[in-house]
Amino acid sequence: MIVTNCTFNKVVKKHGVRNLGEKQKDLFINITNKNDIQLILGPPSTKSTFDNDIWIFLEREISNEKLIKFSKEKIIVNNVLIVEIDNRGLLVDKIFYDINDINKIDFSSLKTEKKYKKDTFIYDFLSSMRQKINDPLGKRKKVD
């Protein structure tokens, strides 16, 4: 009775644009426009606007590992497509990353330092704003 609810088939969770690697081959620089991109790929996962529009499309497939490694997930497909669209709506550039390319990207190990200390104006200002939000009528006992 316990085994009747379990299945031995792998469960694959899919997210984003299906078959992104194949669909991106239908996009041609200086020929394909915004409408064609949305028709082929659908809406982008992320949009950003700088000098040109940059749209990011994602495809990800995750599957559970073997029964021995209970609740461990394995990434099967992890594709990212970055397209750049100019102000006329034409595709200017496209970059496609698959799971192997993404593993080769070096990320910066630098950390951002905070620019304020306890004796600065910004710290005093933010502390007073926090105090006003927590006690708008000023009736609580002050804690330093």
The DSSP secondary-structure symbol of 133 reads H
Residue 55 has pLDDT above 80, yes or no: yes
What's the first-to-final CA gap in the chain, in angstroms? 61
Q: Is 89 left (phi over 0), alpha (psi -120 to 50) or beta?
A: left
Bridge partners, 78 (sequence order) = 60
The answer to whether the beta carbons of residues 71 and 13 sit under 8 Å apart is no
Q: Which residues contact 112 (CB under 8 A, 6 or more apart)?
A: none
What is residue 52's predicted lDDT score, i.e. its pLDDT?
Answer: 76
Strand locations in the chain (E): 12-16, 46-49, 53-64, 73-85, 91-97
Instruction: Give 6-53 pLDDT, tens digit per residue.
Output: 666 677 788 888 999 899 999 999 999 999 999 999 999 888 877 778
Span 79-125, pLDDT tens digits: 999 999 998 989 999 999 988 887 777 777 888 776 656 667 777 77
Query: What's the rounded Cα separation, in Å, for the pair 143 and 73?
Result: 46
Question: What is the reported pLDDT for 1?
Answer: 46
80 vs 132, higher pLDDT: 80
List the single range of 3-7, 22-26, 133-137 with lowest mean pLDDT.
3-7
Four-residue CA torsion sign, 128, 129, 131, 137: positive
3-class state of residue 46 by DSSP = strand
Element (H, E) at 92: strand 91-97
Provide the pLDDT for residue 62.
87
Q: What is the pTM of this model?
A: 0.64
